[in-house]
A = this chain, B = another copy of it.
């Protein structure tokens, strides 16, 4: 047996000193390493005096449990993974934040993997990156049809919860986009608008699909004409472009517009402004998300608020149910959005 220079004992042994382990604590406290282990894991079968001695020894040495060793022997890492699209967007960022907070609360840590693209390969890579860290579960904030489909072909040995994941086989938490779109459209119609135009999100996002479907269904249900949809990519720039396009090609005037998110709405607002069209006097506008800026658009934007942090917390709950094998409550959780009326909507002139 090759003994390394027994560090700890002789004061002048200037070995690079590895960090202390249970045995070091045990030696200092005059107990066995098992007793130290028991103290750490809060097992009741340790006498008060011993516990205190061990605790003292731990803090004297600045002892920190070695997660690797623990994970090796227990087979558990207490680490969760979050796969997400562009975390620069307000929604994903808020959810990620909520997930991390809630996870730390119950002593899990969270590891992240972003998705540079949308193809299957990319998702596979992200998934592998997390899996090879031995995360115990994964929350996928991947609201695209393609990504969610890819999730189905992923190894089954780690629990997954999909956020805004459509109606797949995976446990899912989602905001009721359809309901929100319906409300927005009904609101505009009830103000007296003949029909409602729509600037939609990218067609491979579930959220975009659902919002469009809700809008369309409501128009049809009310027997209104369904204008052609113009599509953006969620960015302000694309909203601007879409609104311009709408202004050019529409022969009859649109007096109400349901824009699929707030960022595109600010772009649309700008385009309308440039065209000398007053909101809400000539055109009414409804957005979606209620980003912090929405209240301060000119005019303040009527929109649908999504409780992203609620979604984040719920998805974590759902994941932990699977991870810890607790009785599973539900497979799919749907959270209603909240309709917020501000100044961008009014009756037509």
Q: Is the CB of B296 within 8 A of A266?
A: yes
Give the residues in chain B near A111, CB-CB below 8 Å: 79, 109-112
A338 to chain B, nearest CB (A): 18
Stretch at the interface among A6-14, A41-49, A125-133, A188-196: A125-133
* Interface check A229, CB cutoff 8 A: no
Give the residues in chain B near A93, CB-CB below 8 Å: 87-88, 93
Cβ contacts A126-154/B at 8 Å (1 or 0 each): 00011111100000000000000000000
Stretch at the interface among A94-102, A171-179, A281-289: A94-102
Stretch at the interface among A25-33, A51-59, A63-71, A203-211: A63-71
Q: How far is the CA of A134 from the CA of B71 in the complex (A)?
A: 12
* Interface check A267, CB cutoff 8 A: yes
Q: Is the CB of B132 within 8 A of A114?
A: no
Q: How far is the CA of A310 from the CA of B30 in the complex (A)?
A: 53
Give the residues in chain B near A113, CB-CB below 8 Å: 100, 104, 109
* Interface check A86, CB cutoff 8 A: yes
A111 to chain B, nearest CB (A): 5
12 A-B interface contacts by CB (under 8 A): A68-B134, A79-B111, A87-B97, A101-B114, A109-B111, A112-B112, A236-B293, A236-B295, A237-B292, A237-B295, A237-B296, A270-B296
Q: Which 5 A-B pairs have the closest CB atoms?
A: A68-B71, A68-B72, A270-B296, A236-B296, A93-B93
